[in-house]
């Protein structure tokens, strides 16, 4: 480090600007020198902080003790050179304490650890001041220095600490033989000039008492002398080099452009079949690929770099909240692009604070709830489906949805109507709205109501999403998903009509081309769900045109030729039906703007070789959307974790959709009879003769007024309403819609339908959630539709 700076030649940096004029013996202190000092000091400080926290758990770890000592020592030395006297003083005091800990003269107590951490804070403050203003700042830290001195001399700390430790300082008498032994062991490690001085003193003091160690001592002195020269060199061999982030950014951009140019060149290969040209292009291709991979690596950093600060954070939070908290980290080595790492630091910090402050309960409460007194915060990171997932989970008290709802109403973030339409999941998301905070008390740590929405905004600004999952009394889990932007991935281009899309190859399993749909191998319909038999496996089918509501004139569903792209997402395979499949090529993934972030179907966009913008499909999201063979577009009445139909039938429960009519009567429809829930603008409804219809997906779909069907007098069509809620039913190409009043809820219930006294249009009634509900006769309506279609 900078111990060697003391004898810096005075004309070393003739070119760099110096504020001090050059004269005979003055040393030029350039900006670069100070910057280097700061960079190394910050690094050392970070390591020291981490080490101090670890040291608390393992107070005898000599390696750590040595490291901290050396760091403080170097820092002190450099400060002397630069003239930062307060910093020097503080570092010096710390060094003294470390020295005592190292040679066993003192033991690490909680107090000592706390004060040392406070010292680290002070050093950090001063370094920051130097960085910003060039001076250490106004604070003389006299109190801290006094504390450090008290600590050094073994007196009990006067600062607030939880455990009062008194005089656990053990002073070992410096006897000759043991001294010699300890000296030998010390000499085996690297020694600083100060240590050598002390060693020599000790040896000299005992020369008269014991003659024997003398020849050894001389050898030791020689050894020691040898080691002093080594100190000038850095403690580990440096195989790294510092590069400015801007330069790496530039490199990345250039590589991205190169990839695009390479793609275009490759296209020409198909036109100009000149051998030399093709060979050169191949070479270009190989080199570009390797270059791209390597450059991406330069920016990737393990997320552990951000997490390093967290053990200390948790320790401090545990103390200030008087709780027992343990932090478990998994996946430190998960790599992220550097810019992303910077961006998630703050959100993660806030979420951790949140867990400690609001999530975890006090030890007494935990005990009363039958939980272990120590709460745990889990921090996990891993790669999944082209994204980096970070989870922060605590085994605390969970989040009470009802409290959230109440608070949201109170703060006027929603009105009661909107609240009623929300699912629990949507309600939980309210905590991310600006102006929201349920903390009864605003603490220093969190609760100011500016936290969660900032977390969400920060994460969204890098193209990520954040989600909350909780169980009251058990746990709260925040899941952050960050896409690997700047990623260059291989992708397959497909098209539906005039629309082109890209599918990341990582999700691609195989391709099936259907040319003649009269042949045996085609899509079958089982229970209103399209299925394809792929070598003894039943593959659920998803129509891209449907999912994306492409509404092209050319409907894939009716065409004879199409392709099935077999995709895999999250252990589920399914087939995506598209019109045509094109090439596979490498694309640069670019995130979509803020306005399009809500659309989960797309993972980003890219620019193809011909300059066209093409959207990249998010395979996992598509799978989820098409989940149970139902699609509920903007109305997430079905939560993602709802039971699958299988599990439901096992428990004899059915999913039922409940609607209310204007006269407050309730009508139910089994969910497996519902294809979609739609909301249409009233003015879009048209009529053909007596039948109400609507243009839907390029076809004309008949609509039934539920009031009519049930022969109720009052019409469900409230002409003042802007929109109508419609349940769409689909069966082998025949679809129809039922206009209902209000869609209430979807529940899972055991249903025993009683046919007694059923009226026309229903199959019977049942008691659901304590009320009588009639079940719509969907089959009858289907028959009616088929009849009308035939007679048309």
Partner 1 sequence: MNSIEEKKPLQNTQLCTFYLGELFLGIEVRAVQEVIRYQETTRVPLASDNIRGLINLRGEIVTAIDLRARLSINSKPVDEPMNVVLRLDKNIVSLLVDDVGDVLDMPDCALERPPKTLQANINDFTRGVYKMDDRLLLLLDAEKVVNLNSRNNHEAESPLH
Stretch that binds partner 1, among 138-146, 211-219, 388-396, 589-597 (CB under 8 A): 589-597
According to CB under 8 A, which one of 230, 257, 560, 636 is a site residue for partner 1?
A: 257
Nearer to partner 1 (CB atom), residue 415 or residue 559: 415
Question: How is residue 248 written in tokens?
Answer: 């790496």
Q: Please, which residues bridge with residue 686 across strands?
A: 693
Q: Shortest distance, CB of residue 549 to partner 1, whole angstroms? A: 6
What are the φ/ψ torsions at residue 162 (nearest 5 degrees)? -75, -55
Kind plus residue range of the DSSP H or E element containing 655 = strand 654-660
Of the candidate spans 291-299, 323-331, 587-595, 677-685, the one that interacts with partner 1 by CB under 8 A turns out to be 587-595
602 belongs to the binding site for partner 1 (CB under 8 A): yes
User: Is-contact 716 706, C-beta < 8 A?
Assistant: yes
Q: At which residue do the structure tokens 């921090």 appear?
A: 379
Given the complex with partner 1, which of 548 and 728 has the nearer CB atom?
548
Output the six-digit token pair for 555: 């409907």
Among 22, 245, 261, 596, binds partner 1 (CB under 8 A): 596
Residue 548 interacts with partner 1 (CB under 8 A): yes or no: yes
Q: How far apart are alpha carbons 350 and 655 in whole angstroms?
A: 39
Exposure string (b/e) for 377-411, b if CB count within 10 Å is 16 or more? bbbbbeeebbbbbbbbbbbbbbbebeebbebbeeb
With CB under 8 A as the rule, give the number of residues binding partner 1.
Answer: 35
246 forms part of the interface with partner 1 (CB under 8 A): no
Q: In sequence order, what are the beta bridge partners of 508?
A: 567
Residues in 426-485 at the binding interface with partner 1, rule: CB under 8 A:
434-435, 450, 453
Alpha-carbon distance of 343 to 345, in angstroms, equals 6
Please report, in angstroms and rounded to a whole number, the separation of the first and last CA atoms in the chain. 91
| Minimum distance from residue 548 beta carbon to partner 1 (Å) | 4
Query: Taking every pair of C-alpha atoms in the chain, what is the biggest distance, in angstroms?
Result: 123
| Least distance CB 433 / partner 1 (angstroms) | 9
| Cβ-proximal residues to 420 (8 Å cutoff; 6+ apart), any chain | none
Strand pairing partners for 486? none
Q: Interface with partner 1 by CB under 8 A: which range of 65-73, 358-366, 591-599, 671-679?
A: 591-599
Nearer to partner 1, 419 or 643 (CB): 419
- Closer Cβ to partner 1, 352 or 422, answer by number: 422
Which residue of 413, 514, 569, 632 would you call a contact of partner 1, by CB under 8 A? 413
Task: Check residue 416 for interaction with partner 1 (CB under 8 A).
Answer: no
Q: How far is Cα 666 from Cα 741, in angstroms, rounded to an integer? A: 10
Q: Is residue 550 near partner 1 by the rule CB under 8 A?
A: yes
Query: In terms of DSSP bridges, do strands 335-337 and 529-534 run parallel, antiparallel, or are they unpaired?
Result: unpaired
Q: Which is nearer to partner 1, 526 or 613 (CB)?
A: 613
Q: What is residue 752's DSSP assignment? A: -
**Nearest residue to 364 (alpha-carbon basis) of 353, 356, 372, 354:** 372
- CB nearer to partner 1: give 325 or 615: 615
CB 123 within 8 A of CB 45: yes
Question: Closest by alpha carbon to 115, among 161, 76, 72?
Answer: 161
**407 sits near partner 1 (criterion: CB under 8 A):** no
Nearest to 80 by CA among 8, 161, 158, 181: 8
Nearer to partner 1, 231 or 344 (CB): 344
Binding partner 1 (rule: CB under 8 A), the pick from 284, 601, 685, 747 is 601
Q: Is 254 in the site for partner 1 (CB under 8 A)?
A: no
- Residue of 45, 414, 462, 707 interacting with partner 1 (CB under 8 A): 414
Closer CB to partner 1, residue 355 or residue 546?
Answer: 546
Strands 699-705 vs 734-740: parallel, antiparallel or unpaired: parallel
In the complex, least distance from residue 337 CB atom to partner 1, rounded to whole angstroms: 17
Least distance (Å) between residue 605 CB and partner 1: 5
From the list 1, 615, 620, 623, which residue makes contact with partner 1 (rule: CB under 8 A)?
Answer: 615
Return left, alpha or beta for 717; rule: phi > 0 is left, psi -120 to 50 is alpha, else beta. beta
CB 115, min distance to partner 1, A: 39
Give 203 or 422: the residue with its C-beta nearer to partner 1. 422
Choice from 205, 286, 613, 789 touching partner 1 (CB under 8 A): 613
Binding site for partner 1 (CB under 8 A): 257, 260, 411-414, 418, 434-435, 450, 453, 499-500, 548-550, 590, 592-599, 601-602, 605-607, 611-615
């Amino acid at each position: 480090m900078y111990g060697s700076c003391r004898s810096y030649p005075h004309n070393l940096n003739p070119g760099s600007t110096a504020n001090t004029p050059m004269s005979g013996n003055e040393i030029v202190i350039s900006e670069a020198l100070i910057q280097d000092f700061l960079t190394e000091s910050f690094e050392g400080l970070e390591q020291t902080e981490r080490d101090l926290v670890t040291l608390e758990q393992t107070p005898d770890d000599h390696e750590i003790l040595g490291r901290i000592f050396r760091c403080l020592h170097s820092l002190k030395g450099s400060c002397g050179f630069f003239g930062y006297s307060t910093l020097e003083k503080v570092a010096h005091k710390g060094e003294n304490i470390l020295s005592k800990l190292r040679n066993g003269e003192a033991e690490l107590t909680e107090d000592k650890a706390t004060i040392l951490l406070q010292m680290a804070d002070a050093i950090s403050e001063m370094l920051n001041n130097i960085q910003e203003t060039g001076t250490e700042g106004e604070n003389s830290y006299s109190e801290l220095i006094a504390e450090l001195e008290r600590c050094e001399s073994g007196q009990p700390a006067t600062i607030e600490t939880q455990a009062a430790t008194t005089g656990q300082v053990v002073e070992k008498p410096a006897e000759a033989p043991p001294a010699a032994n300890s000296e030998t062991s010390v000499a085996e490690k690297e020694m600083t000039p100060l240590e050598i001085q002390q060693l020599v003193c000790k040896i000299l003091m005992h020369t008269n008492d014991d003659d024997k160690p003398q020849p050894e001592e001389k050898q030791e002195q020689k050894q020691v002398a040898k080691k002093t020269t080594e100190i000038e060199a850095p403690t580990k061999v440096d195989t790294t080099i510092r590069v400015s982030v801007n330069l790496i950014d530039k490199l990345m951009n250039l590589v991205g452009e190169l990839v695009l140019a390479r793609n275009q060149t490759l296209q020409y290969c198909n036109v100009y079949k000149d051998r030399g040209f093709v060979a050169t292009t191949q070479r270009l291709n190989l080199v570009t690929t390797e270059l791209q991979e390597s450059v991406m690596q330069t920016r990737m950093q393990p997320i552990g770099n951000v997490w390093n600060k967290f053990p200390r954070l948790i320790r401090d939070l545990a103390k200030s909240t008087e709780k027992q908290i343990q932090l478990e980290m998994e996946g430190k080595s998960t790599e992220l692009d550097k810019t992303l790492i910077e961006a998630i630091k703050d959100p993660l910090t806030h979420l951790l604070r949140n867990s400690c402050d609001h999530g975890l309960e006090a030890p007494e409460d935990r005990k009363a709830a039958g939980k272990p007194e120590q709460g745990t915060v889990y921090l996990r990171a891993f790669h999944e489906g082209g994204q980096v997932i970070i989870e922060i989970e605590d085994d605390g008290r969970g989040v009470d949805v009802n409290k959230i709802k109440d608070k949201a109403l109170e703060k006027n973030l929603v009105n009661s109507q909107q609240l009623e339409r929300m699912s629990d999941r949507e309600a939980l998301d309210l905590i991310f709205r600006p102006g929201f905070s349920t903390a009864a008390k605003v603490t220093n740590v969190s609760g100011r109501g500016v936290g969660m929405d900032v977390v969400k905004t920060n994460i969204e600004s890098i193209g990520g999403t954040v989600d909350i999952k909780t169980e009251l009394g058990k746990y709260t889990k925040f899941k952050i998903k960050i896409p690997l932007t700047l990623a260059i991935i291989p992708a397959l281009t497909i098209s539906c009509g005039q629309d082109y899309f890209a599918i990341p190859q990582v999700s691609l399993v195989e391709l099936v081309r259907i040319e003649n749909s009269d042949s045996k191998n085609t899509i079958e319909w089982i229970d209103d769900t399209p299925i394809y038999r792929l070598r003894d496996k039943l593959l659920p089918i998803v129509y891209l045109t449907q999912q994306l509501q492409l509404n092209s004139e050319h409907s894939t569903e009716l065409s004879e030729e199409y392709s099935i792209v077999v995709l895999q997402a999250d252990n589920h395979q399914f087939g995506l039906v598209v019109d045509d499949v094109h090439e596979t090529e490498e694309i640069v993934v670019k995130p979509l703007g803020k306005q399009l972030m809500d659309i989960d179907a797309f993972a980003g966009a890219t620019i193809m070789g011909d300059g066209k913008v093409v959207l990249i499909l998010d395979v996992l999201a598509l799978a989820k959307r098409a989940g149970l063979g139902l699609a509920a577009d903007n109305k997430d009445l079905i939560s993602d974790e709802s039971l699958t139909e299988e599990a439901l039938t096992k428990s004899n429960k059915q999913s039922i959709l409940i609607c209310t009519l204007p006269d407050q009567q309730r009508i139910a429809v089994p969910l497996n009879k519902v294809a979609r829930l739609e909301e249409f603008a009233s003015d879009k409804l048209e009529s053909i003769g007596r039948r109400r219809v609507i243009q839907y997906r390029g076809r004309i779909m008949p609509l039934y007024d539920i009031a009519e069907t049930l022969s109720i007098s009052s019409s469900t069509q409230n002409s003042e309403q802007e929109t109508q809620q419609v349940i769409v039913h689909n069966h082998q190409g025949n679809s129809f819609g039922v206009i209902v009043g209000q869609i209430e809820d979807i529940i899972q219930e055991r249903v025993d339908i009683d046919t007694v006294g059923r009226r026309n249009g229903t199959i019977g009634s049942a008691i659901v959630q304590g009320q009588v509900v009639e079940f719509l006769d969907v089959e009858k309506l289907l028959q009616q539709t088929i009849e009308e279609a035939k007679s048309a």
